[in-house]
Amino acid sequence: TPAEPLEEKGQVAPYICQRRTPLLHHNSALTDALEIMAEEAKFSGSEVRSLAFSRAASVLKALPWKVERIQQLHTVPCIGEHSRRILQEMLEDGMSAEVEKVRQSERYRTMKLFTKIFGIGVKIASQWYQEGLRTLTDLQLHQIKLNKEQQAGLLHYEDLNTPVELWEAEAISQVVRQVIEQILPGATVTLTGGFRRGKPCGHDVDLLISHPSEGEEMGLLPKVISILDRQGFLLYHSFHRSSFLSLEDEELWVSGGSSTMDHFERCLSIFHLGDPAGSRPGATGVQKLGALWGLARRPVPESCAWVDLVVTPSSQFPFALLGWTGSRNFERDLRRFSKREKKMTLNSHGLYHLEQKIFLPAASEEEIFQHLGLEYILPEERNA
C-alpha cells in the first residue's frame, strides 16, 4: 500500500525520501547558515553533528512557506537544539554570530580551500592545517606528496572548481554518446546527478551508461575511455569499482568473480572542454558541440571538468539511476528508511529483502518506490 502524502495533512514527514524537496525554496538564508555549521562540524571530524545540521537544513528546504518566527517550527521534525538556537538568532537578528564566526575563521576557510582539491578529505586537510599550511602555494613550497588523483585536482584547481554548466554537461554527454554509438550501437547514455534534478550547474558531470540487452555492456568502459583518450578529450582518468559497498555487500551484489578491467564499473575522468571564448552559451547545440570537438585538440588545457562515467547492466539500471541521481542527503535517507522501516537493503545495484531473503526486481524508479511503500518523488523534488 502506497504511503500517504504527509504534506496533505499539514505535517512534515521525518524521512527526506518521504518529502518533496525542490531546488528553489523559501528559506535559503536559514539553510545556508545551517549548511555552514554542517560543514564546520565535518571539518572538526564530527559526522554526527554534521548530519544533524544537514538534516535540519534539508527539512527547511521542503517547507512550502517562508519561516518568519521560530514558533512556526514547533511541529517540524529533524531540528535539534543547536540548529534551533541558530535559527532563532537568524530570525531575530537577521544573522547568527556563531555562524559568522565560523565563516570568518581561518580554520574554516583553509579547510574549505584544501578539501576543494579533489581527493583531499577532512583528515589530510586538517593535518596540513595543523602543520601550519594555509594556501595552495604552501603545498607546493613544502613539496607535499600527493597521489595522481590529488595532483590532477591541484593542477586544475581553478577550472575544476568552476561550476560546470548544463549546456557543457549536455555537450559532454553527446560526445560520449557518439563514441559509444561506434562501439556498441543501442547503448544508452543518461545524464544523472544534480543535472537530472534540474540544477543549472554542478561540480561534475555524472553519466550512466547501459544497454537494453543484459551483458552487452560488459567490457564497454575501458574501450570508451581509450577512444576518448585517443581523441584528446581526457586530461586524466582512473578506473574504480562502484563504491559505497562494504565487503560483505560486495559478495551479495556483485556476481562473477573476475577482477579484470572488465569488472570496473566506474571511471573518474577529467574532460577537456576547450576555451570559454570558443564555446559561448549563446551558440546553438551543434555549434557548441563543434566548438568542443575542435578546441579539444588544442595542446593547452583552457577549461576542464570532472566526469563520472558509470556502466550498469540493464537489470540494475533503475537502481543505478536512482542511486546516482542524488542528492546525497536524499540517498542517505532512502537507504536508512529501507533498512529501518522496511527491513530492506537498497543500493545502486538492487533492493534486497533481509527477512524474505529475496531480491526485488524493478523496471523503473517508480517500481522501487512502490516496493518501499513510498510515494514517487520526481528527480526535481530530490534536492534535499
Compare residues 191 and 234 and give the one whose CB is closer to ligand 8DG.
191
Cell of 380: 526535481
Query: Angle CA(270)–CA(276)–CA(281) in degrees, nearest 5?
Result: 105
Query: With CB cut-offs between 5 and 8 Å by kind, which of ligand 8DG, Mn ion, none does residue 199 bind?
Result: ligand 8DG
The minimum distance between CB 375 and ligand 8DG, in angstroms, equals 20
Query: With CB cut-offs between 5 and 8 Å by kind, which of ligand 8DG, Mn ion, none does residue 39 bind?
Result: none
Cell of 20: 518533496
Question: Which H, E and C letters describe 281-320, residue by residue?
Answer: CCCCHHHHHHHHHHHCCCCCCCCEEEEEEEECCHHHHHHH
The minimum distance between CB 202 and ligand 8DG, in angstroms, equals 3
Compare residues 52 and 334 and give the one whose CB is closer to Mn ion.
334
The minimum distance between CB 75 and Mn ion, in angstroms, equals 34
Query: With CB cut-offs between 5 and 8 Å by kind, which of ligand 8DG, Mn ion, none does residue 327 bind?
Result: ligand 8DG
**How many angstroms separate the Cα of 22 from the Cα of each of 199, 277, 370?**
10, 33, 21
Q: Are strands 304-311 and 266-272 parallel, antiparallel or unpaired?
A: antiparallel
Q: Which residues of 169-184 are buried (b: 16+ CB within 10 A; e: fewer)?
A: bbbbbbbbeebbeeeb
The minimum distance between CB 14 and ligand 8DG, in angstroms, equals 20
Position 333 contacts Mn ion (CB under 5 A): no
Query: With CB cut-offs between 5 and 8 Å by kind, which of ligand 8DG, Mn ion, none does residue 159 bind?
Result: none
Q: Decide: helix, strand or coil at residue 91.
A: helix
Position 274 contacts Mn ion (CB under 5 A): no
- Name the one range near Mn ion by CB under 5 A: 37-45, 258-266, 270-278, 302-310: 302-310
Compare residues 199 and 211 and give the one whose CB is closer to ligand 8DG.
199
- What DSSP assignment string belongs to 96-114? -HHHHHHHH-HHHHHHHHH
The minimum distance between CB 379 and Mn ion, in angstroms, equals 13
Query: With CB cut-offs between 5 and 8 Å by kind, which of Mn ion, ligand 8DG, none does residue 83 bind?
Result: none
Compare residues 73 and 319 and give the one whose CB is closer to ligand 8DG.
319
- Name the one range near Mn ion by CB under 5 A: 53-61, 120-128, 257-265, 304-312: 304-312
- What DSSP assignment string belongs to 115-167? HTSTT--HHHHHHHHHTT--SHHHHHHTT----HHHHHHHHTHHHHTSPEEHH
Cell of 88: 532563532
- Name the one range near Mn ion by CB under 5 A: 147-155, 166-174, 197-205, 355-363: 197-205
Q: Decide: helix, strand or coil at residue 1.
A: coil
The minimum distance between CB 42 and ligand 8DG, in angstroms, equals 14
Residues at the contact surface with ligand 8DG, assessed by CB under 6 A:
193-194, 199, 202-204, 206, 242-244, 323-324, 326-328, 331, 348
Out of 149, 229, 249, 308, the residue judged to bind Mn ion by CB under 5 A: 308
- Name the one range near Mn ion by CB under 5 A: 17-25, 58-66, 187-195, 285-293: 187-195
Of 53, 163, 154, nearest to 102 by C-alpha is 53
Position 204 contacts Mn ion (CB under 5 A): yes
Query: Which residues are designated catalytic?
Result: 204, 206, 308
Compare residues 278 and 326 and give the one whose CB is closer to ligand 8DG.
326
Q: Is the dihedral of CA 20, 22, 51, 122 positive or negative?
A: positive
**How many angstroms separate the Cα of 240 from the Cα of each of 119, 122, 221, 247?**
14, 21, 11, 15
- Name the one range near Mn ion by CB under 5 A: 75-83, 127-135, 188-196, 276-284: 188-196
Compare residues 202 and 278 and give the one whose CB is closer to Mn ion.
202
- Answer whether 25's CB lies under 8 Å from 57's CB: no
Instruction: Tally Cβ neighbours within 10 Å of residue 236.
Output: 20
The minimum distance between CB 316 and ligand 8DG, in angstroms, equals 10
Gap between the Cα atoms of 58 and 51, Å rounded: 10
Position 39 contacts Mn ion (CB under 5 A): no
Q: Decide: helix, strand or coil at residue 266.
A: strand
Torsion of CA 129, 134, 137, 142, to 10 degrees: -40
Compare residues 126 and 383 and give the one whose CB is closer to ligand 8DG.
383
What are the residues binding Mn ion (CB under 5 A)? 193-194, 202, 204, 206, 308
